[in-house]
Structure 1
Amino acid sequence: MQIEIDIVDAFTSAQFGGNSAAVIITEKWLSEPLMQSIAAQNNLSETAFLLKRSDSEYHIRWFSPLTEIDFCGHATLASAFVVFRKHPHLKVLDLFAEAVGEMHITHRGDGLIAMNFPSRTPQPLANIPCDLLEGLSITPREVLRNNQAYFAIYAEEEDILQLQQDPARLANLAPYDVVVTAQSRQYDFISRYFWPTNGGAEDPVTGSIHTGLAPYWGEKLGRSNLIAFQASKRGGLLHCQLDGERVIISGNAVPYLSGVIDVVEKDK
């Protein structure tokens, strides 16, 4: 069976930056073992699988090389980029995922793709896990958590840039990942994202976690529009807008590869 595949660099305007995601669009779902095998073979942060309902409506699922992911922002951006590229007349499309619900995606006139996500504001923690404190080389001043990750808050952006992680200790926090963040001089805030249990040591750019970072920093800074930078080796720029119980996250994307994969789906 031959299947079209696209690889896109998301949250960047320059190739080889941001976070790469593979995108596969099908008329019916592949089996879960096959989707997981393809994602493992691709060995990217995520491979997104879209089930087409119409040119502008799709169901979406995301797989890291290790497991299926409930919510992935950069692979959603990559998926929207591929759909808009295949259908140049489209300006809006709707995606649906079980854990996230409806996601309204808009191709803006300035080239950015805007994704409307539910807000997932983190809440303060009274008891901070020892594995979190021992797993980060610099002690945070505050720790919060939402349904995705622990949020380690720092006073200085240099802490984010210099910080080292112990993946073995952070893996003990499963099913939660860890994001470290601080206010920035050049941007409104910066972050890094560690997910040894669900995907890898450090994610290049993580759109989903900004549905928690943006509300946190929006309240702290008294702003509803924020510019964020994820300070990984590849780096990524995210435009965040608070809209009540929703967070609109926008970014650029650039194509890297379009091709065909040959796969054999075994009998179920």
Structure 2
Amino acid sequence: MTLRAFVVDAFAERPFEGNPAAVVPLERWLPDAVMGRMAAEHNLSETAFLVPDGENQWHLRWFTPTVEVELCGHATLATAHVLATEYGVAGTMRFCTASGMLRVEQEAGRYVLDFPARMPVRAQAPAGLAEALGAEPAEVWKGRDWFCVFADATTVRALRPDHARIAALPDGDGTAARVIVTAPGDDGVHDVVSRFFAAAVGIPEDPVTGVAHTQILPFWAARLGRTELVCRQASRRGGTLWCALRGDRARMGGTAALYARLEIASPLSGLDG
């Protein structure tokens, strides 16, 4: 068996920006163990696997190098880019996932993700959070992830976290602890800046994280009194998301750039090794 695969930089205007994801179109699912090993081999924050399910609809799953995750934004955008540019798919794309039906539309040169929004709630900081981050947040909230608000963007950009300590943080809901840090923008262009740390699932710092913005968007929309925000994830690679809150849905727009087309030979080989 030989498969095609693609590496796409998502939330990027050109290669080497944004967040790289591998995209592997399939005719039918491979064994979970094989997909997990393929994701580990790719060693990107996520590898997306998709299987067709009717006209402009697919089943979609995402794997980090260590686990399968229930939702991923940048790899969904990367998948839409592959379908549009490599397979000629036009119009709205629908994806059946562990988090429900997701949609991606093509608008004004961007891919717009339609994801469920999740407003975090005020919470008590877990023991060791400030020490893990190397700075004391002004506020701590909890959504899917720990959500740490800082007073200024300079502090967010300057953080040098201890990723081992972040991985050891208690999460409280039985999942691996992941941490969003965020602050108001300071450059007159971006309303919000953020970073995202998830060493417990094999991603010390994710370059650009769509799922984080399903929490960042409703929080800052309420705080700033606006439903449309331009958000910047301030990782080393960096990426911009054009976001709009529409009821309980987060719409997140971005661009993508193809980095590589790959041929995967015999992905079932070595399974018992």
- Is 1:119 the counterpart of 2:117 in the alignment? yes
Deviates more, 1:47-56 or 1:224-233: 47-56
| Residue 90, structure 1, aligned to residue 93, structure 2 | no
Q: Give the residue type in structure 1 aligned to 2:184.
A: Q
- How far 1:259 sits from its partner (Å)? 2.1
Distance in 1 between residues matched to 2:89 and 2:147, nearest whole Å: 40
Match of 1:222 in 2: 225
**Counterpart pick for 1:171 among 161, 167, 170:** 167
1:79 Cα deviation from its structure 2 partner: 0.3
What amino acid is aligned across from residue 135 of structure 1 in structure 2?
A: A
Aligned-partner residue type, residue 249 of structure 2: R
Q: How far 1:73 moved relative to its partner?
A: 0.3
State the number of aligned residues: 264
> What letter matches 1:122 in structure 2?
P
* Candidates 174, 196, 199, aligned match of 1:196: 199
Aligned counterpart, 2:60? 60
Cα shift at 1:132: 1.2
Aligned pairs for 1:24-173 (under 5 A) are: 24-88=24-88, 90-98=90-98, 100-108=99-107, 110-125=108-123, 127-147=124-144, 149-173=145-169
Q: Is the 8 A contact 2:121 2:141 kept in 1?
A: yes
- Give the drift of 1:55: 4.5
RMSD, matched Cα:
1.4
Structure 1 position 97, deviation (Å): 0.7
For residues 116 and 267 of structure 2, the distance between their equivalents in structure 1, rounded to whole angstroms, comes to 37
1:246 aligns with 2:244: no
Preserved CA contact (<8 Å) 2:56 2:89: no
Q: Deviations over 1:100-120 (max 9, x none)?
A: 101111011x21000100011
Structure 2, unpaired ranges of 5+: none
Gapped runs of 5+ residues in structure 1?
Answer: none
Cα contact 1:196–1:202 (8 A) shared by 2? yes
Q: Which string of whole-angstrom CA distances, capped at 9 and with x for unpartnered residues, describes residues 213-261 of structure 1?
A: 0000000000110000000000000011000010001100010111211
- 3-state SS of paired residue (1:71): coil
User: 1-side partners of 2:81 and 2:54: how far apart?
Assistant: 16
Contact 2:9–2:78 (CA under 8 A) maintained in structure 1: yes
Match for 2:220: what amino acid?
A: W
Secondary structure (helix, strand or coil) at the match of 1:215 reads helix
**Counterparts in 2 of 1:60 and 1:265: CA distance versus 1, 3 Å:** same
Cα drift, residue 199 of structure 1? 2.3
The TM-score with structure 2 as length reference comes to: 0.93
Q: Relative to 1, partners in 2 of residues 1:196 and 1:258: Cα closer, same or farther, differing over 3 Å?
A: same
How far does residue 96 in structure 1 lie from its aligned partner after superposition?
A: 1.2
CA–CA distance in structure 2, aligned partners of residues 85 and 261 of structure 1: 20
Per-residue displacement from partner, 1:172-212 (whole Å, max 9, x unpaired)? 12512001000012210000111110122111111111000
Q: Is the 8 A contact 2:39 2:63 kept in 1?
A: yes
Q: For 2:256 and 2:267, how far apart are their aligned partners in 1?
A: 31
Alignment TM-score, normalising by the size of structure 1: 0.95
Runs of 4+ residues over 4 Å off in structure 1: none
The percentage of aligned residue pairs carrying the same residue is 38
Contact 1:131–1:172 (Cα < 8 Å) also in 2: no
